Amino acid sequence: MKEEKHFTLEELSTLTGFPRRTIRYYMQSGLLPGPEGANRGAYYLPDHLDRLLEIRKWQQAGIGLRRIRELLTGTDSLSAVPDKTPVPGEFAVRSHVFLRPGAELVIDPAESGMSPEEVRDMVQRILRAMNETEGEQK
C-alpha cells in the first residue's frame, strides 16, 4: 500500500504561491479544510493542494472569494451568474486608496478575492507605474 504524500504549511505555500497567512485565512473562512493532525504534527494532503490550485485558477479568472465559496460548497454552478444587485440595508465595506489628486482606487475585499498581501502588491505596482509615467511626461 502506497503512503499518501503529506505537506507542511510551508511546502503548501511554496507549491501554490499563496502566503501561509492566506492559507490560514482560507481555512478560517471555510474555503479550505483544516489540516490533519494538530499543532506541530499538523500536515496537509494532496486534496489541500488541489483545492488551493483550484482557488488560484478561479481567482485568476476574476472570480471573487464569495463566489468561489459557493462553487466549492456546491451551492451554485459555474454557469450561473451571481446577482450583484445590492439589497436595501446591505452594508458594503470597501478600501479607498488615494493615488494622487483625482485618482482613487476602490477595492471591495469580499468581491476581489484578493488577500491583503495581494492588494498591497497591486497598489505598489500601480504607484510605481504612475510614477514612471509621470517621469516620462516631464
**Strand, coil or helix: 36:** strand
Domain with 29, as residue range(s), is 9-73
- From the list 20, 63, 67, the residue with the least C-alpha distance to 44 is 20
Number of H helices, E strands in the chain: 6, 2
| pLDDT tens per residue across span 1-20 | 456 788 999 999 999 999 99
81 is a domain residue: no
User: Do 31 and 69 contact (CB within 8 A), yes or no?
Assistant: yes
Residue 48: predicted pLDDT = 93
84 is a domain residue: no
- Relative to beta strand 95-100, strand 103-107 is antiparallel
Taking 70 as the pLDDT cut, the residues of the chain under it are 1-3, 75-87, 91, 110, 138
Verify that 47 and 99 share a domain, yes or no.
no
86 is a domain residue: no
Verify that 63 and 30 share a domain, yes or no.
yes
Question: If residue 127 lies in a helix (H) or strand (E), which one and from where to where?
Answer: helix 116-137
Number of domains in the chain: 2
User: Does the reported pTM lie above 0.75?
Assistant: no
- CATH number, domain with residue 16: 1.10.1660.10
Cβ atoms within 10 Å of 80's Cβ, excluding its own: 10
